[in-house]
Amino acid sequence: MDGEGQHAEDPAASATVAPFTFALGIVLCLIGLIVSLWITLLGALLAAAAGWKWLQAVKLPDAGPVAAEKREPVAEETYAPETYERSAFLSIATLGLGGLVGAIIALPAAALAIVPTLQHRRQRRVDLGPMSNFPEGRYVATTFELDPAIGAVSRRTAFVRYNGLLENEPSFTIISNRCTHVGCPTQPNGPLFTEQTKNLERGGAPVRLIPVEPAGFGCPCHGSQFDREGNRVAGPAVRALDRFEYEIDRGNLVLTGLFSVARVDGAGSDAKIHRTPLAYPGEPVSGLESLLYPVQPPTN
């Protein structure tokens, strides 16, 4: 047997393997919509390649040229074109219907998973009042409402510390109290000076300020612990505490958005913040594990 014959592909084997590979590709697409966009793309490529091989496998083999002496003349009006065998027709129909059903199921889910990631997040501005409410070097537990229109449901707490000036600009550390494990509210590991509480009203919404003296921050739900800069030091949390972006508007401290933090080197105005786009609780933002999570959809 010559070399060409040894490497000839078995059509029957392709017709058997290709459908299973196609189904595997569809399954990877659906799993990828939950886990990672890259797995979705891998599944789509696998399904496309398997579908192409499946189509090739069900084509009727070419009968080859017919010897001249065996060819019988056929009148033009009685000539019948070649047709597919029933098994070939059923294979192509099954593949087509399977692809159509897969598209009907996968495309809406893919649109819901991918389209929001292409939209911009809406960041709400929250006015916390004059900078004088935040003494230098001291944390203040600040409670406010992200959306006054919906009231207490949007209530959040941040730990705000004024660090002094950095290159002639006010520097603040503003740490979210949401634990990066499952989102429970962290507590300051230290006293709260409730007798010094200030209650303000900004933009039609209440703002409450309570000075605190934390040695760090702890989650009462599952025991995660964070240092004074929000770095994770113990427990199941997967990263440092998130932080708020801010700006100074006519002497008032205004929150403009949230971002996630892998870690913080240093402290106060000299800290080097390894920031990332905002991630949900339980999602790492650095290392190989971060590759398993898709691009985040927008949040209000």
Domain boundaries, the chain: 3-118, 126-292
Contacts 24+ apart (CB under 8 A), 86-93: 88/58, 88/59, 88/60, 91/15, 91/54, 91/58, 92/55, 92/58
Distance CA 142, CA 207 (A): 7
Contacts of 66 (CB under 8 A, 6+ apart): none
Which whole number is the average pLDDT over 213-239?
Answer: 96
Tokens of 76: 């033009």
Which whole number is the average pLDDT over 113-119?
Answer: 59
CATH fold label, 126-292:
Rieske Iron-sulfur Protein (2.102.10)
Confidence of residue 98 (pLDDT cuts 50, 70, 90): confident
Q: pTM for the whole thing?
A: 0.63
Distance CA 189, CA 212 (A): 9
Q: What is the pLDDT of residue 97?
A: 80
What is the C-alpha radius of gyration for the chain, rounded to an integer number of angstroms?
A: 32
Q: What is the pLDDT of residue 5?
A: 47
Mean pLDDT of the chain: 82
Ranking 24-28, 66-70, 221-225, 285-289 by mean pLDDT, the lowest is 66-70
pLDDT in tens, 197-211: 999 988 888 999 999
